[in-house]
Homo-oligomer: A and B are copies of this chain.
Amino acid sequence: MILAAARERFGSAGYQAATIRAIAADAGIDPAMVMRYFGNKEKLFAAAVEFDLRFPTYDDADRERLGHLLVEHFLDRWEGDEALVILLRSSATNDEAAQRMREIFGSQLKPLVAKFVGADEAGKRAGLMATQILGLALCRFVLRLPPVVGMDRDEVVEWLGPTIQRYLDP
């Protein structure tokens, strides 16, 4: 309940404006309890945005279809876990959250990409993929640009799949 209240509050107010007091009130408990469980606001935030992209290995995947599969996977994860949207919102204005986003990128996306393009190229290719995928998440879930919100899942995959494929396999 504390984590759910924290996600909600960090997501709506942003990291800076969210207070332990408000989160405790939302969760219906004493602020001292939140401090006892999590220590401080930074640690509460870290727990609230703990995020695993849960990539499959893609060992048996058709290499020509990887772009499509990755876009589908990202959409499922974004839609299934509000923590990533909250992390994205927070990372725009808070250095700690931005650092966490860089860690997720470096420890989860980059190693996956390295399997397909090798270690030398992995950083750049994963970075290019991040520009498209995070941009989609930004426009669809945060800025809510009407035509981007209006596209259905298949349409998003059809348009963005080839982009991700090209960043992986030019």
Contact = CB atoms under 8 A, between A and B. Distances in A.
Interface string A135-150: 1101110111111101
A2 to B, nearest CB: 21
Contact of A139 (B13, B134, B150): B134
Interface string A146-158: 1110110000000
Contacts of A27: none
A35 interface: no
A164 to B, nearest CB: 10
Contacts of A163: 132, 163, 166
Given A14-B16, A90-B93, A132-B135, A127 B143 contact: no
Interface residues of A, number: 45
B93 A89 contact: yes
A14 B145 CA distance: 21
A112 B160 CA distance: 22
Nearest to A97: B143
Centre residue among A88, A126, A128 by max chain B CB count within 10 A: A128
A130 B145 contact: yes
Nearest to A101: B143
A131 interface: yes
Contacts of A138: 92, 131, 134-135, 138
Given A13-B16, A134-B138, A143 B91 contact: yes
A21 interface: no
Interface of A: 13-14, 16-17, 88-94, 98, 101-102, 105, 123-124, 126-128, 130-136, 138-140, 142-148, 150-151, 159-160, 162-163, 166-167
